[in-house]
Amino acid sequence: MSKPSNSFSIKHWSQDDQPREKLRDKGKSTLSDAELVAIIIGSGNKEESAVDLCKRILASVDNNLNALGKLSIKRLMEFKGIGEAKAITITSALELGRRRKLEDALKQEKISSSRDVFNIMQPILGELSHEEFWILYLNNSNKVLHKQQLSKGGITGTMVDVRLVLKQALEVGAVALILCHNHPSGTLKPSEADKKITQKLKNATLSLDIKTLDHLIVTENAYFSFADENIL
């Protein structure tokens, strides 16, 4: 007896419904997120097509691509039809998207608002499960000369190496700094430690005529600016 064809295979669909052909003939903007991810994985499983499988995966993260990018390879492999190779492919594709977003943000000529800082730092900090503290070094046109991670993990005043900050500022010729760190909890309220670090660095850099322009607390979708709130 001949083996029945798999009706869930994309190749058996109408050509108008096949993601690869749809992208080729109608353009990438016409595809849903599920269809784009389906092209990445190539095939589904015995019970569902690649698109249906991807719809189910996306539904598990409320159709949020940022949340999908946070799923571990092990978690992705829990979906039937997703082996290690497909899980790695999905993770790689989403990481490329994140890096593209970061590159686009860094192409800007200068920082003119706290929103510009958020656009640069959100791809770096917004999705982390731990806290990191970064500094942006600016020239006199408010263009970013350099960005540097100052600490990783819990933030306390004792973890701030003022000498390192000043040394880096002099090396790149910075005339201003912007401080940034993330709150994985999602809260935007600055802690007492946040305020102490800000004041400590502000006082230290003034001795070299370097201004501390702002301190941003970054979460996945929002930010808090010390300068905007007049508490710098």
DSSP 180-221: EEE-TT---PPPHHHHHHHHHHHHHHHTTT-EEEEEEEE-SS
When mean pLDDT is compared over 26-35, 180-189, 210-219, the highest value belongs to 210-219
Tens digits of residue pLDDT in 85-109: 999 999 998 888 877 776 665 555 5
Tens digits of residue pLDDT in 32-73: 888 899 988 988 888 888 888 999 999 998 888 888 888 889
Angle between helices 50-59 and 33-41 (to 10 degrees): 120
Structure tokens at 229: 């709130």
Mean per-residue pLDDT, 108-134: 86
Per-residue pLDDT at 11 exceeds 60: no
CA 212 to CA 177: how far, in whole Å? 5
pLDDT band for position 157 (cuts 50, 70, 90) = very low
Per-residue pLDDT at 24 exceeds 70: yes
pLDDT band for position 156 (cuts 50, 70, 90) = very low
Helix/strand/coil for 137: strand
Give pTM, 2 decimals: 0.58
Residues 75 and 91: beta-carbon distance below 8 Å: no
